[in-house]
Structure 1
Amino acid sequence: MGEPDAEARSGQEAVDGLVALLDLERIEEDIFRGVSPKSRWQRVFGGQVAGQALVAAGRTVPDDRRVHSLHSYFVRPGDPTIPIVYEVDRVRDGRSFSTRRVIAVQHGATIFSLSASFQLEQDGVEHQAPMPDVPDPESLPTIDNLYGDSPEAAAFYKAMPRPIDLRYVDEPPWRQHAAGPREGLSRVWMKADGMLPDDPLLHVCVLTYASDMTLLDSVLVRHGLAPGIDDISMASLDHAMWFERPFRADEWLLYSTRSPSASGGRGLATGRFYTPDGVQVCSVVQEGMIRIKRRD
C-alpha cells in the first residue's frame, strides 16, 4: 500500500485521500492493515486510528447491521511512519446486535483498542435534546480566514488534516486566548470538504475521524489556552460515540461541545452532532490529557 499524502491537499482531493486512508487492506480473515498520511506530526492523529479501527470492525459485520456505538482507548502514541495492524475479535452475533473488539498494533504492542456494537434497524421511542440556535454555516468564515491573524495558530492548524471543512460558530481557542477564560462551550459546523461515496459505514467512520478534531477546544477555552500559542501537551485518552440517526458526513453537521470538568491533567468534553434542520445524529464523550508545560 502507498502512503496517502493528505497534508497539503484541500477540497475533493483531500476527501479522496481520506477515503483512501480508510480503505484498509485485508491481510487475513479478521486482520487488516492501514497506513498514515505523510505528515509533520510525530504521532498518528487519534481520529485516524479510531476511524480505521471502526472500518475494520464494520467489515466483519453483515451490511444490514449498522454501528450504533463505539468505546475506545488510546493506549500508546501511534508511529505515522509504519503501517498499523488491526485485529478484530468477533465477540458475539446475536439476533439483533453484533459486538466486535479491535486492537491496533505497532512494533508488537497495542496502541489503541475499540469495542463497537452493531444493530439491525428497529423502531422504538424517540426524543432528543434541542439544537442550539446558531448561524448558518455558509455565513461563517473558513478556518483559513480565521487563523490568518495568528502566525502561531496558522503554523499549528496548517499541519492538521485538511479533508474536513470547519466553520467556527464561537471564537476558536487562538482568538479567545487574548480575551481569557470563557464558558466551556465550543460550536463548530463541519463536513467532508467534497463528496463521499454512498456507503453508510464510510460516513460513520469519517465522522469518527472528524469528531476528534475540535472536541478538546471546549476544555481549552475555559482556561484561555490555545495549541500552538501556549506550551501545552495534549492527547486523547479515550473516546466514545453513539450514532443515533442516519446522516451524511459530506453535508453540514453542527458539533456542539462542552467541558463539564477538568482535573489531574485531564479534561472531559462532551458533544452532540446535529443536521441543519435540528436532528440530533450522534453523541460524543472524550477525556483528554492536557498538561501545561510552561506559561508566562
Structure 2
Amino acid sequence: MADRPTLLRPPPEDPDKAQIENALEVIELAVLGPNIFTNARQPWHPPGARGIYGGAVIAMCLAAAQRTVAPDFLVHSCHCYFLLAGSSELPILFHVEQVRDGRSFATRTVQARQRGRCIFTTTISFVRDTPTSTSSSSSSNDNGGVRTVSHASEMPRGPDGQPLRPPPDDYADEPEVMAQGPFQGTKIEIVSDGADGGDKAGSKKTRQWVRARGRIRGGVAAQLEALAYVSDSYFIGTITRIHRLWRFPFPPEEYDRLPADLQAKIRTVHQWEGMGDDPREMAGRPVIGMMVSLDHTIYFHEPRRVRADEWMLTEMESPWAGDERAVVMQKIFSKDGTLLATCVQEGLVRLQQPAAKGNESKL
C-alpha cells in the first residue's frame, strides 16, 4: 500500500471545535487490539525540521492515554523521549499500556510507532482529582481540616514592578508569516537579570504570550492536550536566542543577495524571535549545525485551571549547556498569574565548525 499520512480516511473537521482540537484528534483501533489509537489527521512538519512537530506527538500520546483512565483522574506529569524523527507521510500508531491503576494514582506508558519502529515514548502519571487539589502561595494550607504544603512561583513582573499583563483579547498584530498553525503568539522578548551586564546566556530569559485560536470545546482533557502541544514551541530554540546563534540555511553575509520577498520574511522571523532588527548584524556569529530535542517533561500543577484558548505566558531559561547538549526550563502562567505548568527539555545543540586549514590539495 502506498504511503499515506493517516491509516483511516480523515473525518471532516468539526467547525464547532478549535483548530487545535481537530489537529490532535485520535481514533481508537479496537480491531488491532485494546488501547491502540491512531492520528486522525496529518501532523505538521515544520519547514526545515528533521521530522514532525514534537508537540503534536506529545499531545496525541496524552490524548490516547487520557482515553484509558477514569474521568476523575487528571494528568500531573509526562516524561517523554524523542527517539526517531517522525514522518508526516506515514500513519502513527499509539500503543497505550495500562501500567498501574491505584486509588490515588494511575500510570500509563505510550509508544508512538511508524512502520513498526518506536519514534517516541512517554510515561504519563495521573492523580485522582480531589477537593483539596488546590494551590496557595503560603507554605501550608488548611482545606477543611486537611493540611497541605503549598507554594508557587509568581507571575513575572515588568519594568514598572507590576505583574505582566496579557495582550488584549482582540490582538491581531501577528505578521502573516507567523500566523500559521493552531496557536497564536506575541513577539518573543528576551530579558536579563543584569548579571555581568546581561551578556551571560544563563542570566537571560525569553517571554511570550500564547493562546489557541478559537474556543476549545472539549473540556479539561482538550485544554491539557493543547497545553502539551504548545509546550514544545520555541523550547530548545531558546538556546539560539540567549546565545545569539544563526539558524537559517545561509550565512548572514549573503542576506543582501536574497530575493526581496525572502529578505522580508527572514527579517520578520528574526525580529519576531527577539534576535534584533537586522539579520545582517549576525555576521560572524556561531551557526547552528544541528539542533534536535532529546527529551521533554511536563509537570501539570493546576490542570483544572488550564485555559489554553486564553492568553498564557511562557517564560524560558537555560541553567546549563555543554557537551553538545543543553537544558531549558519553562514556566507557563495563566493570564491571572497562576503557575499552570513547569516543563524541562534537553536537546542536542551542535554548531557548524570552521573548515580545517592546511588541508587544501597542492595538485
TM-score range, shorter chain: 0.7 to 0.9
Name the one with the larger strand percent.
1
Secondary structure in 1 matching 2:154: coil
Change (3 A) 1:2 1:42: farther
The reply on whether 1:53 has 2:112 as its aligned counterpart is no
Secondary structure in 1 matching 2:64 = helix
Paired residue secondary structure (1:259): strand
1:176 maps to which residue?
none
Which of 22, 25, 29 is the matching residue for 1:23?
25
1:144 alignment partner in structure 2: 175
Q: In structure 2, what is the Cα distance between the partners aligned to 1:169 and 1:231?
A: 20
Letter in 1 for 2:233: M
Q: How does 1:155-170 map to 2 (within 5 A)?
A: 162-170=181-189
Q: Name 2:252's counterpart in structure 1.
A: none
- Secondary structure (helix, strand or coil) at the match of 1:18 reads helix
Q: Secondary structure at the match of 1:70?
A: strand
Distance 1:212 1:295, change over 3 A: farther
Q: 1:58 to 1:98 in 2, by over 3 A?
A: same
| CA radius of gyration, larger in | 2
Where does the alignment leave 5 or more consecutive residues of structure 1 unmatched?
7-11, 146-153, 173-179
Structure 1 Cα separation of the partners of residues 200 and 94 of structure 2 = 40
**Counterpart residue identity of residue 197, structure 1:** R
User: For residues 32-54 of structure 1, what are the alpha-carbon distances to aligned partners after superposition, in whole Å with 9 as ceiling and x for unaligned?
Assistant: 00142465555111001000011
Structure 1 position 252 matched with structure 2 position 258: no
2:214 corresponds, among 194, 198, 202, to: 194
Higher relative contact order (CA 8 A, sep 6+): 1
Within a 5 Å distance, the mapping from 1:61-210 to structure 2 comes to 61-122=69-130, 123=132, 124-134=148-158, 135-138=164-167, 142-144=173-175, 162-171=181-190, 183-210=203-230
Residue type of the alignment partner of 1:62: A
1:162 aligns to what SS in structure 2? coil
User: AA paired with 1:200?
Assistant: V
Is the aligned partner of 1:212 residue 2:232? yes
Q: Which of residues 211, 230, 243 in structure 2 aligns to 1:223?
A: 243
Deviation (angstroms), 1:271: 0.8
CA separation of 1:129 and 1:171: change in aligned 2, threshold 3 A: closer
Give the structure-2-normalised TM-score. 0.68
2:19·2:213 contact (CA, 8 Å) conserved in 1?
no
Letter in 2 for 1:127: H
Match of 1:148 in 2: none
CA distance in 2, matches of 1:287, 1:295: 25
C-alpha change, 1:287 and 1:38, in structure 2 (3 Å) is closer
Matches of 1:2 and 1:227, distance apart in 2: 37
SS of aligned partner of 1:165:
strand
User: For the residues of structure 1 that align with 2:44 and 2:120, how far apart are their CA atoms?
Assistant: 20
- Structure 1 equivalent of residue 42 of structure 2: 36
Deviation of residue 117 (structure 1)?
0.7
- Deviation string for 1:141-177 (max 9, x for gaps)? 84427xxxxxxxx5xx57xx521111135159xxxxx
Q: 1:295 to 1:81 in 2, by over 3 A?
A: farther
Counterpart residue identity of residue 21, structure 1:
A
Counterparts of 1:43 and 1:169 in 2: how far apart (Å)?
Answer: 24
Task: Please tell me the root mean square deviation across aligned C-alpha atoms, in Å.
Answer: 2.9
Deviation for aligned residue 1:232: 3.4
Gaps in structure 2 of 5+ consecutive residues: 1-7, 133-147, 159-163, 192-198, 250-286, 356-363
| Aligned equivalents of 2:26, 2:204: Cα separation in 1 | 37
